[in-house]
Structure 1
Amino acid sequence: MVYKDVPGVPRFQVEEFLKKNSEYCVCIPIINEGERIKRELERARSVQINAIADIIICDGGSKDGSTERSILEPLGVNSVLTKMGPGKQGAQLRMGFWWALERGYKGIITIDGNNKDSIEDIPLFIKRLNEGYDFIQGSRYIKGGKAINTPVIRHLSVKLLHAPIISLTARHHFTDTTNAFRGHSRRYLTHPKVQPFRDIFLTYELLAYLSTRASQLGLKVCEVPVTRAYPKKGKVPTKISFFKGNYDLLRILFSNFLGKYKPEK
């Protein structure tokens, strides 16, 4: 089925393998992740994550064959959403959030699809959502978390720049703010003063905005310990280019700090 006239949501197509089976879902934005997403889903299946949360792939238009039904369905994936409209990660998340809310989930967990994050820790996010938390940030830097082979430049940029600015904007202390392993309550995403379904969120704007808006509104937020592991050698799995990507992240950070993503009404 194709959705093409939803305000604030890019045109997208849905391939539904199974009906809604859980109160929570896991949205995984990917594009051409190849073997990385397969290995991540194999890990999820090994601990039966699909028994406690529906796994939704939010594809940005992969061309590498990694989103074939014959690959994903045996790995426990519930549905695949394929973005057909403009935008990158922010657009993928918007279509995932909208579809998940339409389906009636109580909460939505997000995680990158490049096999860096401890998908086995999803029960921690569900536990916090059941306790009434509205935004849950996964952190490798709190007690119980693990940062494995983190490149020095990334470690320093999070500790000295990204986390302090996000924390100042949010008026709440966060430690691992570039980490997209997060939980979001239905109450948060449907709050009238949040409004995530806007075309301004094309790339990484939505990640920065949702990091800060919950605590600004007095909603319940926390961090949970997770593991983020980079490969010992070889290319770092990321979609952020060193110069343009990092410049865009800085621009987004300061735009968010200045309140440019807050809804006008």
Structure 2
Amino acid sequence: MIYEGIAGVPKFECTEYEPKRNKYCVCIPIINEGDRIKKELHRAKKNDIDKIVDIIICDGDSNDGCTNQISLKNLGVNTLLVKKDIGKQGAQLRMGMWWALQRGYDGIITIDGNNKDSIEDIPKFIEKLEQGYDFVQGSRFIKGGKAINTPLIRLISVRLIHAPIISLTARKWFTDTTNAYRAHSRYYLEHPKVKPFRDIFKTYELLAYLSVRASQLSLKTCEVPVTRRYPQNEKTPTKISPLKGNWLLIKILIMNALGKFQP
């Protein structure tokens, strides 16, 4: 099925392999992730994650075969969404979140699809959503979390630049603010002073915005410990280029701090 002409939501194709099974879903944005997404889904299947959340792949129109539908169904994926429009991660997340809310989920977890994050920890996010939290940030830097093989430049950037700026903007301390492993309640995403479904969120703006808006509105927020493991002796899996990509992140941080994304 094709969805188009929806304000603030990119045009996309939807293929449902299963009906809605669970109260919560996990949206995984990917683009040409190769074997990394397959390994992540294997780990999810091994730990019965597909039995407690519906797994939604939010694809940016990959062409490397990583979204082979037989493989996805065998690995427990509930639905494949494929963006057919402009925009990058922010557009993929808007696509996934809009569709998930329309389908009736009470909360949406997000996680990268490059096999760096501990998808086995999804029960921690569900527990917090059940306790009434509106925004739950996964963190490798709090007690119980693990940061494995983190490149030094990334460690410095997160700890000394990104986290302090996001925390000042949010008016609450968060420790792992570049980490897309989070949970969002339906109440948060549908709050009239949030409005995530806007075309301004094309790349990484939505992640930065949703990191701060909940606590700005005095909603219930927290962090949970997770593991982020970078591959050893391999190229770092990322879509952020060293110069242009990092400058974009800084620009987004500044705009976010100035309130430019608020409705």
TM-score (norm 2): 1.00
Counterpart residue identity of residue 260, structure 1: K
* 1:211-250 map, 5 Å: 211-250=211-250
* 1:1-265 map, 5 Å: 1-263=1-263
Task: Determine the C-alpha separation between the residues in 2 that align with 1:190 and 1:21.
Answer: 22
Counterpart residue identity of residue 109, structure 2: I
Counterpart residue identity of residue 200, structure 1: I
Counterpart residue identity of residue 159, structure 2: K
Task: Determine the C-alpha separation between the residues in 2 that align with 1:233 and 1:195.
Answer: 41
1:97-134 CA deviation, whole Å, 9 max, x = no partner?
00000000000000000000000000000000000000
1:117-157 CA deviation, whole Å, 9 max, x = no partner?
00000000000000000000000000000000000000000
Where structure 2 has 5 or more consecutive residues not aligned to the other structure, the ranges are none
Task: Determine the C-alpha separation between the residues in 2 that align with 1:89 and 1:231.
Answer: 22
Q: How far apart are 1:56 and its partner, in Å?
A: 0.1
Q: How far apart are 1:50 and its partner, in Å?
A: 0.6
SS of the equivalent of 1:212 reads helix
TM-score (norm 1): 0.99
Q: How many positions carry a matched residue from both structures? A: 263
SS of the equivalent of 1:26 reads strand
Counterpart residue identity of residue 25, structure 2: C
Task: Determine the C-alpha separation between the residues in 2 that align with 1:65 and 1:17.
Answer: 18
Q: How far apart are 1:234 and its partner, in Å?
A: 1.4
Counterpart residue identity of residue 208, structure 1: A
SS of the equivalent of 2:214 reads helix
Over aligned residues, Cα RMSD in angstroms? 0.3
Counterpart residue identity of residue 236, structure 2: V
1:30-89 CA deviation, whole Å, 9 max, x = no partner?
000010000000000001001000000000010001111111000000000000011000
Q: How far apart are 1:5 and its partner, in Å?
A: 1.1
Task: Determine the C-alpha separation between the residues in 2 that align with 1:233 and 1:106.
Answer: 40
Task: Determine the C-alpha separation between the residues in 1 that align with 2:132 and 2:85.
Answer: 34
1:156-192 CA deviation, whole Å, 9 max, x = no partner?
0000000000000000000000000000000000000
Where structure 1 has 5 or more consecutive residues not aligned to the other structure, the ranges are none
Task: Determine the C-alpha separation between the residues in 1 that align with 2:197 and 2:159.
Answer: 30
SS of the equivalent of 1:164 reads helix
Task: Determine the C-alpha separation between the residues in 1 that align with 2:81 and 2:147.
Answer: 31
